[in-house]
Amino acid sequence: PEPPYRPERPRPQTPPSSRLRSSRGDPHDGLEGAGLARPHTPSGPKVSDRPIVALAGGPAFTFSYAEHAELLSAAGADVVTFDPLRDEGLPDGTGGLVVGGGFPEVYAAELSANELLRKAVAELALGGAPVAAECAGLLYLCRELDGQPMCGVIDAAARMTRRLSLGYRDAVAVSDSSLAAAGTRMRGHEFHRTVVEPGAGAAPAWGVRAPEKRVEGFVQHGVHASYLHTHWASSPGVARRFVERCRTS
């Protein structure tokens, strides 16, 4: 049989500075950011009612709208970055998790080898904490990626393909989740060459109208995971909802 398609891809580089932020223009121009997030450093207990939201970063998770960290902070959270390739645990006191886009397929073996962090992510997610995962984050939460064990939060398998899925999307939340109430409308984009099988759970995340009408993604426990990179400024209430769920979960 033909071996699985594994295109040669250079290790991702930091995007040019002109693309790091959306600069309050077209919200879909910038893909990398989280400029307000602080590096993960061990710390003692926080005397604060601000929940800690862990934000995945490092070489495997390079793409995130800067406004996401800003909106989370404005909603009352402390955003702390961590590197799933290096860190063996989530930031101390983590009450919620955001895992955005990137290139987990390039680093699948290294991500899989970090078993302590995979276990910590699974325990957090399956314990009901709010988790928002988009594209690369979705793959990381799956059972496996190209045969490499991932976090196993979502009972689905991801693999690389030759087909590129690319374009802006208008989406409607299908299921109530820690991120969005059913019926919430969001703008976002897709950009990936992977597929997840199955493509949607019993409670899908989004209904997408174009380029074809479909549902996709997964809502379970406190997890909202899908391929769609949403721009939270298109519906700022999602950040407030997420932070409030972090406080009460």
- Strand partners of residue 165: 192
Which residue type is seen at 100?
G
Residue 109 CB partners (closer than 8 Å, separation 6+): 148
Active site residue 246: no
CB atoms within 10 A of CB 154: 24
Q: Of these residues, 135, 142, 151, 246, which one is catalytic?
A: 135
Instruction: Just list the catalytic residues.
Output: 135
